[in-house]
Amino acid sequence: MDTRALRSCFGRFATGVTVVTYAVGGERYGITVNAFTSVSLDPPLLLVSIDRRAKACSKLEGTPFAVNILSAEQQDVALHFAGRPQEALVLQWEEGEVAPRLGGVLAWIECVPWRAYDGGDHVLYLGKITNFHYRDGQPLIFYTGTFTHLPTVVEGSP
Ligand SMILES: Cc1cc2nc3c(=O)[nH]c(=O)nc-3n(C[C@H](O)[C@H](O)[C@H](O)COP(=O)(O)O)c2cc1C
């Protein structure tokens, strides 16, 4: 199979952008992730898919984490946690109940580890949600390998 073409195919699915944050040994870390999905309301579960080559992959094993849903203004945050450190960026870390979180996000969801599943060259981490918060605003969108924003909402849409 042509994996480059498959990646482009997957890229036709427009997503939001999140940063998964966690702490190990008193140090705070994050990884930019668009492979995030809601899973279950009862019990409350979510899923993130992490590349086995990422440093985050082994560190997330048995570790509480937070999913931070980025706002349209947080492209620099997305790049920073995708291996492109942004010198001008001042990170706003917040202490969560079970994991560190980022400030200025559209929503955050804190989780404790639930299950981890083999996802081929990725690991699927399911978290059980302990607390969450959201606000109104515009999300950062990832589509065909580029960041974009939502168009204006059309009056009368469902
Ligand atoms: C928009 C965007 C979405 C990404 N989504 C994922 C993802 O869902 N899973 C993943 O493992 N890596 C994803 N990445 C790549 C990681 O963020 C990147 O490899 C990161 O540097 C890994 O960090 P670490 O090795 O410090 O854990 C994404 C990158 C970008 C820019």
Residue among 28, 29, 32 whose CB has most ligand 1 atoms within 8 A, to mutate: 32
**Residue 49 backbone phi and psi in degrees, to 5:** -110, 120
Predicted TM-score of the model (pTM): 0.96
Q: Give the nearest ligand 1 atom to 54 CA.
A: 25
Nearest CA to ligand 1 atom 13: 33
Q: What is the reported pLDDT for 158?
A: 75
In this prediction, residue 152 carries a pLDDT of 76
Asked if the structure places residue 73 within a domain, the reply is yes
* Protein residue closest via CA to atom 4 of ligand 1: 33
pLDDT (average), residues 31-40: 98
Distance (angstroms) between ligand 1 centre and the Cα of 157 equals: 33
Ligand 1 nearest atom to the CA of residue 17, by list position: 1
Residue 95 CB-density burial (10 A; 0-12 exposed, 13-18 middle, 19+ buried): exposed
Give percent of the chain with pLDDT exceeding 70: 100
Is 155 within a domain? no
Do the domain assignments include residue 133? yes
Ligand 1 centroid, distance to 155 Cα (angstroms): 35
Please give the backbone phi and psi of residue 85, each rounded to the nearest 5 degrees, phi first. -50, 130
Average pLDDT of the segment spanning 106-126? 98
Gap from CA of 17 to ligand 1 centroid (Å): 10
Domain that holds residue 112: 14-25+37-139
Give a yes or no: residue 154 inside a domain. no
Please name the residue whose Cα sits nearest to atom 6 of ligand 1. 33
Question: Residue whose CA is closest, atom 5 of ligand 1?
Answer: 33
**148 has which bridge partners?**
141
Residue 7 lies in a domain: no
CATH code for the domain of 49 = 2.30.110.10
pLDDT tens digits, one per residue of 45-77: 999 999 999 999 999 999 999 999 999 999 999
**Lowest-pLDDT range, 58-67, 76-85, 145-154?**
145-154
What tokens appear for 109 in the block?
């969801």
Total domain count, the chain:
1
Q: Do the domain assignments include residue 127?
A: yes
pLDDT of residue 63: 98
For the residues 111-129, what does the mean pLDDT come to? 98
Give me the pLDDT at residue 77, please.
Answer: 98
In a domain, 9, yes or no: no
> How would DSSP label each residue in 39-107?
EEETTEEEEEEEETTSHHHHHTTT--EEEEEPBTT-HHHHHHTTT---TT----EEE-SSSEEETT-SE
| Structural domain contains residue 146 | no
> Nearest Cα to 106, choosing from 130, 144, 81, 141?
141
Show the ligand 1 pocket: residues with CB < 6 angstroms: 17, 31-35, 49-51, 54-56, 78, 82-83, 142
Q: What is the distance between the alpha carbons of residues 113 and 64, in angstroms, rounded to a whole number?
A: 6
